[in-house]
Chain A
Amino acid sequence: MLESPHAALAVASPTRWRTRHLLDVDQLDRNEILRCLDLAAEMRELRDRHERLDSLAGELVGLAFAEPSTRTRVSFEIAATSLGAQVVDLPMAASSSTKGESLVDTLLTLQRTGITTLVLRHGASGAPYLAARATQLRIVNAGDGTHAHPTQALLDALTLRDALGGLEGAVVAIVGDIGHSRVARSNVLLLTRLGATVRLCSPPAWTAGFTRPGVEVHAELDDALEGADAVMALRVQLERNAAGGVPSLREYTARWGLSEARMQRACPGAPILHPGPTNEGVELTASLAAAPRSLIGRQVTNGVAVRMAVLSLLAG
């Protein structure tokens, strides 16, 4: 019987965990990332065995989602309650911006209510950094603007590691609206730090400025898929079309939409990931999303485990 996943892990992997907030994956070194993934895998097993955990007992976790979200919010809520925390849902959009109150003032108010950890989803890139500077709250970034979505990248890495056996030397293609994607940004940082090569593929307007060791940019889907070990599709946001990244969704699908036929270029059976929600028929076909190689369901399951690991590591 494990006393706590924490104690068990401390023996297996003595990496020190340095950060109090999780603002983006760039704060984590390779060992911390691996420790987090290992702990998440362990959490997943404990959950499968319906073990009771209480490493967050006494913690008051606030979920502040200033942007609509279902899966991430629910995933964090289940993660926090599974660890024994009390969880408060904070309806941000209604309480702050509409009354003209600044984000900092809103968060300081929340801090005074006794909330210790704040899971923050916000439309403005960098909002969690402001929150971390201006308050004593422990901040977990649940997605900020087009900047970062660290727990999504961690759950993607866990899913890929399980499927591929490891990420060192792996080639992962990311296809979609990369420019507006916080998921892509965090994955680029995380996957390259774990030794993978990341190929970004989209219309040129969406990959500008992604210059980084370990990152390749491809405009043509076939080039990006050639020999790829795994492929991640990103949501193409209907509302972004007005900004001119792509002439039409029809053209997007014709040139960059993923299907079984186009996946022939990738390694046989290369897994497909998608952070959701999917636009089936746009960024990938419905049959591909439902195919055995699709890990989309697995990502959701891993999301809870990764968020349990993150919350418990941050709590120290």
Chain B
Amino acid sequence: MVRFGSLADEPATFVLAGCRVIDPGSGADASRDLAVVHGRLAAVDAAPPDAARIDGSGLVAAPAFCDLHTHLRQPGGEAAETIASGTRAAAHGGYATVCAMPNTEPPLDEPARVAWVQLCAADAAARVRVVAAATVGRAGEQLTALGELAAMGVVGFSDDGSGIASARVARSVMDYLAPLGLPLVEHAEDPELAAGAVMRSGAAATRLGLAGWPASAELTMVERDIALAAETGARLHLTHLSTGAALDAVRRAKERGLPITCDVTPHHLVLTDAWVAGDRRFAWDGDDDLPEALDPQLAYDGRCRVNPPLPSRADALALLAGLNDGTVDAIATDHAPHPPERKAVEFANAAPGMVGLETALSIGLAALAAGKLTLPRLLQALSVGPAGLIGEERSLRAGELVDLVVFDPSARWQVTADALASASSNTPLLDMELPGVVRLTVASGRITYADGVAPLG
């Protein structure tokens, strides 16, 4: 039986017996028992005798995940998602924390709006941290109350949905943020180079007659921002990077010791621009040949429209390589729910974005099965890596209120609208069968999701 809990529930007490426990922070990876008493990790013999026991055989336990890039759509987009439904999706995906992006309607560009989201999230199924807008109305002109917002606990600033087009404004934001220690979270995309584009430029875009997005649209803003970060000393976090060239720029900047971090999405790691043409192979299984004939059922599927657009196969593989060599600090979902009517339209008119919280682990496990990732690296990029960037702990040390995910890596599930807790199901993975089923998620010591393995408080 599947049940959701919330952060307002009583802290949990249970024993997880004979489970593979992976703690990417310490490097520990061993089969053992694990006890949670009143929400805190404890010695197994400290658990009360009547504590619920969970058979952990075949399961993996790890620090719960942290998503740096989530669109909860509230306020203004409640037909697609709410704080309640979006955090249930997070719990189902193994997440204890999501970072709510500010491009809501109205945007999260004022302290009162941020406070409202924080208030709404008090009894959510995951902790909600806010990324506030960097400029008023996300218009790229006037700075928001960066300092006041920082004092409210926001974790970064972003005009996500678009980059900050003006180099001068971006420089002002970074100048002001440098002493605050919070990052500019940049959606790196030159609006002129990307104007009108609906998919990645290349052979698939040409074949489909769709306006192409050149890799330079991302690289030029990434290079600009790196120069500004070097000059101002501000932290810069580049979100949803989708090109090998931009990742190379980040790699070089990190070698120079600059305070620059980045994330990639699960979909950019494994899907490619060929998906728009109806190919449904993951990057490592594909080749560079387009289908001889477009499949009328699959070609131009609006659910493949996302921004930045799905990458070339070479870039997807470059992102996987960057994840493995540590250039990529985190996997972030860019969970972007949309109602069906925004997707069942002409491809160029489809709203960009796909849901991702509930399939991120599964996509990672598919990459793992293909030999493209290791489990500790995958779990690190989903939990410790991103959590560290927003000042959250993700260790399996005794005494802390625990953030824990327990999943069955070999069980498979079918991605269906019913199986998803999100209010939306806009993903081209719909109806596919993927590996990895989350059995239990614990956030701040509370069970937020349980799939038949433990009683909820």
Contact = CB atoms under 8 A, between A and B. Distances in A.
A104 B209 contact: no
A162 to B, nearest CB: 26
Contact of A147 (B201, B209, B296, B345): B209
B207 A209 contact: yes
B201 A208 contact: yes
A156 interface: no
Given A21-B296, A211-B203, A125 B208 contact: yes
Contacts of B202: 209
Nearest to A104: B344
A24 B291 CA distance: 13
B339 to A, nearest CB: 12
The residue in A24, A129, A134, A185 that gathers the most chain B C-beta atoms within 10 A of its C-beta is: A129
A124 B346 contact: yes
Interface in A105-132: 122, 124-127, 129-130, 132
Interface in B319-368: 341, 344-349
B210 A125 contact: yes
Contacts of A24: 293-294
A125 B344 contact: no
Interface in A1-50: 21, 23-24, 26-27
B294 A122 contact: no
B452 to A, nearest CB: 37
Given A102-B341, A208-B201, A210-B206, A26 B348 contact: no
Contacts of A122: 346
A130 B344 contact: yes
Given A102-B341, A129-B294, A209 B346 contact: no
A152 to B, nearest CB: 14
B309 to A, nearest CB: 14
B299 A209 contact: no
A27 B294 CA distance: 7
A146 interface: yes
B292 interface: yes
Nearest to A132: B296
B26 interface: no
A196 to B, nearest CB: 17
Interface string A195-228: 0000000000000111100000000000000000
A209 B300 CA distance: 18
A130 B297 CA distance: 8
Contacts of B206: 179, 208-210
A315 interface: no
The residue in B208, B212, B341, B345 that gathers the most chain A C-beta atoms within 10 A of its C-beta is: B208
A76 B201 CA distance: 34
Nearest to B299: A129
A178 B328 CA distance: 39
Contact of A126 (B293, B300, B344): B300
Interface of B is mostly: loop
Nearest to B349: A124
Contacts of A130: 300, 344-347
A103 B346 contact: yes
A147 B346 contact: no
Interface in A140-160: 144-148
The residue in A23, A130, A134 that gathers the most chain B C-beta atoms within 10 A of its C-beta is: A130
A133 interface: yes
A138 interface: no
Nearest to A179: B206
The residue in A126, A127, A134, A210 that gathers the most chain B C-beta atoms within 10 A of its C-beta is: A126
A235 interface: no
B296 A129 contact: yes
Interface in B193-238: 201-203, 205-210, 212
Contacts of B296: 21, 23, 27, 129, 132-133
A185 B346 CA distance: 19
A182 interface: yes
A146 B209 contact: yes
A182 B205 contact: no
B431 to A, nearest CB: 14
Contacts of A127: 346
A182 B293 CA distance: 16
A130 B344 CA distance: 8
Nearest to A129: B300
A23 to B, nearest CB: 6
Interface string B269-305: 0000000000000000000000011101101100000
Contact of B294 (A26, A134, A182, A208): A26
A126 B296 CA distance: 9
Contact of A134 (B344, B347, B348): B344
A103 B294 CA distance: 21
Given A122-B346, A124-B349, A133 B297 contact: yes
Contacts of A134: 344
B334 to A, nearest CB: 23
A211 B207 CA distance: 9
A114 B198 CA distance: 35
Interface in A54-105: 102-104
A147 B199 CA distance: 14
Contacts of B345: 102-104, 130
A125 B292 contact: no
Contact of B209 (A133, A185, A211): A185
Given A103-B345, A104-B344, A133-B296, A126 B201 contact: no
A124 B212 CA distance: 14
Contacts of B299: 126, 129
Given A124-B349, A126-B300, A182 B209 contact: yes
A210 to B, nearest CB: 6
28 contacts: A21-B296, A26-B292, A26-B293, A103-B345, A103-B346, A125-B208, A125-B210, A125-B300, A125-B347, A126-B208, A126-B209, A126-B210, A126-B299, A126-B346, A129-B294, A129-B296, A129-B300, A130-B300, A130-B344, A130-B346, A145-B209, A145-B210, A146-B209, A147-B208, A185-B207, A208-B206, A208-B212, A209-B201
Interface of A: 21, 23-24, 26-27, 102-104, 122, 124-127, 129-130, 132-134, 144-148, 179, 182, 185, 208-211
Given A102-B345, A147-B208, 7 more contacts: A24-B293, A102-B341, A104-B344, A133-B296, A134-B344, A146-B209, A211-B203
By Cβ-Cβ distance, the 7 closest A-B pairs, closest first, are A209-B206, A126-B300, A147-B209, A124-B346, A146-B209, A125-B209, A26-B293
